[in-house]
Structures are given as structure tokens and as C-alpha cells.
Amino acid sequence: MSGAAEAANQATVLLVEDNRDHAELIRRSFRENAVSARIEHVADGETALRYLSHLGEYRDELRSPVPQLVLLDLRLPRIDGLEVLREMKSSDRLKHIPAVILTTSDAERDVARAYAEHANSYLVKPVDFEKFDGLMRDLGRYWLGWNRQPAGGA
């Protein structure tokens, strides 16, 4: 299969993460655990909403495809993760996309607020690399392999 054809068959994951080291760990973990995904990384909530709405530099849907999964940090510059989640889940066009909160916060208030905004999952990033790697492997396998979604969204 050619590189272009392989990329077209991969699931797209929108990674909304302001920590570049965390973003690189996620990319590396997916790659090393054979989780086949095209990861589109943005570093703030405002850019995430532009991507999801196909605005500005993201208007070309072939270059910026609708993701099959959004990995969303809570603490983001410009617009926080909860507001991104709120916007996603209030949009008929976006609400079917699974949104997984991936954050360092294990505060009960943050967990409750995320689920109140219809997060599909809430995961706390482990500090230990081996545990983080295992979490990313399992996350990728579940959401991009085992989980079933309707073709073309709901």
C-alpha cells in the first residue's frame, strides 16, 4: 500500500495538548505500539475549535480531516479543554466524535465537570513512563480498534 493510501485508511486523532513533550510521548507510544493513526496536534483550545470547524488554515478537509477521536487536555491556553468539549458536544456535526480527556488532574471536580460536558472518557496521565506507554497502547487499541462507531458519524 502506498504512503498516501495508507494515510487515507488511518484513523485521524486530534491531539489537543499544550505540552510538546507529552504530545511527542503520545505520538511515540502510538507508533511503538503499532496503533495506526494520523495524529493532528494542536497546542491550544482556540486552534482545536478552528480545526474542528474547518476554519482558516484548516478549511481543507482533505488536509484536516474530521477526527475519529479527540484527545483533550483540560488546562490549555486561550480556550480551556472544558470549553472545547462543550462546543464539540453542542454541535450536531461534532457531538458523535469521542472526546477523551487526557490530563494530569485527578481532581474530582474536574472529573465531574468533564462528564457533565459529555466527555466519553477521563484519563489521568501517569507520571511513570511504562504506565503512560501502557495507557496509550490500551487507549489506541480501544478507541481506534475495538470500539465501533457509525460510518461517517451519527
Q: How confident is the model at residue 153 (pLDDT cuts 50, 70, 90)?
A: low
In order of 15, 44, 52, 55, 129, the CA distances from 60 in angstroms are 18, 20, 11, 9, 36
Residue 5 is predicted with a pLDDT of 40
Q: Check which CATH number belongs to the domain holding 89 and give it.
A: 3.40.50.2300
How far apart, in whole angstroms, are the C-alpha atoms of residue 86 and residue 22? 23
79-100 average pLDDT score:
96
Mean pLDDT for 38-65 is 95
For 60, the domain range is: 3-145
For residues 22-45, give the mean pLDDT.
Answer: 91
In this model, does residue 154 exceed pLDDT 70? no
154, part of any domain = no
For the four alpha carbons of 16, 11, 128 and 41, in that order, the dihedral sign comes to negative
As a whole number, mean pLDDT of residues 116-138 equals 94
CB atoms within 10 A of CB 108: 8
- Tell me if 153 is assigned to some domain: no
The one-letter amino acid at 144: L
- Taking the C-alpha atoms of residue 127 and residue 50, their distance in angstroms, rounded to an integer, is 31
Q: Is the pTM of this model over 0.75?
A: yes
Q: Is 150 among the domain residues?
A: no
For the chain, the domain total comes to 1
Q: Which three cell numbers stand for residue 152?
A: 461517517
Average confidence (pLDDT) over 59-83: 94
